[in-house]
Structure 1
Amino acid sequence: MSNINLESLTSQMKVMADMASGQLNSTSTLPKAGEPDFESALKKAVLAVNETQNVAQAKVQSFSTGQSNMTLEEVMVDLQKANLSFQTMIAVRNRLVDAYKEVTNLQV
């Protein structure tokens, strides 16, 4: 995911958090037309994590059967990248669940 998409996603999450806490201020803005929305950004992130894990698994399988000439270090680096991206996705999911719970508990 590119840096621009991460910044857009971060700003959207900030706006949602401000709305949830009732502190929407003038520095928080809703996404403009043409910018990726939250759903598409989240979907792209999940697909990127899935692809990273699939690539790492394919490299492990290829290395273990001796079908490629890559080194163990390359395989380990790809496994660590896949693990890190998965852990990041889990952390984002946990934050989204917490934000959802906070929004549902708001007094109207």
Structure 2
Amino acid sequence: MSHSVTSILSQIRSYQTQVTQPVGPLETPQTNALQGLAAPQDVQGASFTDTLRGAIAGVNEAQQKSGALARAFELGEPGADLAKVMVASQQSQIAFRATVEVRNRLVQAYQDVMNMPL
């Protein structure tokens, strides 16, 4: 189970790095530093909510893909073989379990903080 939690955490970190990357080549801090200008402060880091929302959307997408493949296999469509259906099903199941584990750990951390004496 810890491998799946590690996988979800690495996905969250990759989403975070994708969001915090500059948009264009003129907006990089190195270019601005070379020109003697201060780096723009418009680009902020991704919030935890946005990162978590992106990870949950990924899990939802995996579950929808798995369901669509299962329906296609049941209907006998030529592109859906049993191996693809089973792999997609296992991927979505592992992603969901990892998400539940992350949620459980977040709730436990919240409870620990709330029970701390002042």
Q: TM-score, normalised by structure 1?
A: 0.69
Which of residues 87, 95, 104 in structure 2 aligns to 1:85?
95
Q: CA deviation at 1:2?
A: 9.5
**Divergent runs of 4+, >6 A:** none
Q: CA deviation at 1:3?
A: 4.7
**RMSD of aligned alpha carbons:** 2.4
- Tell which structure's C-alpha radius of gyration is larger: 2
C-alpha distance in 1, partners of 2:12/2:64?
A: 22
**Comparing both chains, which one has the higher relative contact order based on Cα–Cα distances under 8 Å and sequence gaps of 6 or more?**
2
How many residues are treated as equivalent by the alignment?
85
1:28 matched residue in structure 2 = none
Which of residues 28, 35, 51 in structure 2 aligns to 1:41?
51
**Which consecutive residues of structure 2, in runs of 5 or more, have no partner in the other structure?**
1-7, 17-42
Which of residues 53, 57, 64 in structure 2 aligns to 1:54?
64
**Which consecutive residues of structure 1, in runs of 5 or more, have no partner in the other structure?**
10-32
C-alpha distance in 2, partners of 1:2/1:98?
A: 17
Q: TM-score, normalised by structure 2?
A: 0.64
* Percent identity for Structure 1 against Structure 2: 31
